[in-house]
Each structure stands twice: as C-alpha cells, then as structure tokens.
Structure 1
Amino acid sequence: MNYPNYTKAIVLSYSVILEGWPTTIPFTSPWNIHTVSDMRALRDALKAGACAWRTMSRSELESTRRMWSVGK
C-alpha cells in the first residue's frame, strides 16, 4: 500500500478509508513496525474487524477532496 501518499493514492482513487488503525501505532507500513506487541495489536485489530476498509459516502469523498486540495 502507498502509505506516504495514502490520501491521494488510496482514499481519493478508490473511495475507501481504513478505519480502526490502533491509536498506539503510527500509521505506517507494517515493515516499519518494529515491536512484536505492536504487530500483534495490528494483526488482532485486522483479524477482529476492528480495523477494516470502508467505502466512503459521496459526501465524505467530496469533503476529503476539498480538504486535500486546500492542504497540499
């Protein structure tokens, strides 16, 4: 996945968002997660469905597009 360009490459391109990423783990490639406990926390969140992809509504997508174009 394209973590450095997540908003443009993933969210805006595919109209999806990853929700429920554990708050104690920086949003980065799993390759950059260096502790076993953090990897297990991410794995557990994904397996349990607490962290999952969700299709964005049209209004969410448009709002994200507007915020992204202003913030570039």
Structure 2
Amino acid sequence: METRSRTLVKAVVWNVLGLVSMALVGLALTGSIAVGGAMAAINCAIGFAVYLIYERVWAHIRWGRTHG
C-alpha cells in the first residue's frame, strides 16, 4: 500500500505540472496572464482534491496487484 505522504507528494508534483500547462493554455486562448493564471489556479485546486481522493480509493483496491 502507498503511504499518505507519497500520495501527497505525487499529487503536488502532478498539480504543479498541470498548473504550468493550464496557465500556458489559458494565456494562449485569452491573451491574458491574469485570466490564464486564474483558470490554472481553479483547475489546480479542483484537480488536487480529486486526485487525492482518487489515489486513496485505488490504494484500497487489490485488483491488478501482484505480490512478489
């Protein structure tokens, strides 16, 4: 099973990558750093919460794991 701290670090790193990419997409679509940044921040906050829940649920599912 994965520890909570590992799940948290994975979520933070994933969201930093998403924040940067979403900010660039927002900037490209709107031409505004402020709007692009706001879009990215909102997306990041929602995605972070959903990812943490998703990972914790999957940590309890035994299907597809091998024990060696």
TM over 0.5: no
- Give the TM-score taking structure 1 as reference length: 0.29
Structure showing greater radius of gyration is 2
TM-score, normalised via structure 2 length: 0.30
Q: Comparing both structures, which one devotes a greater share of its residues to helix?
A: 2
* Greater fraction strand: 1
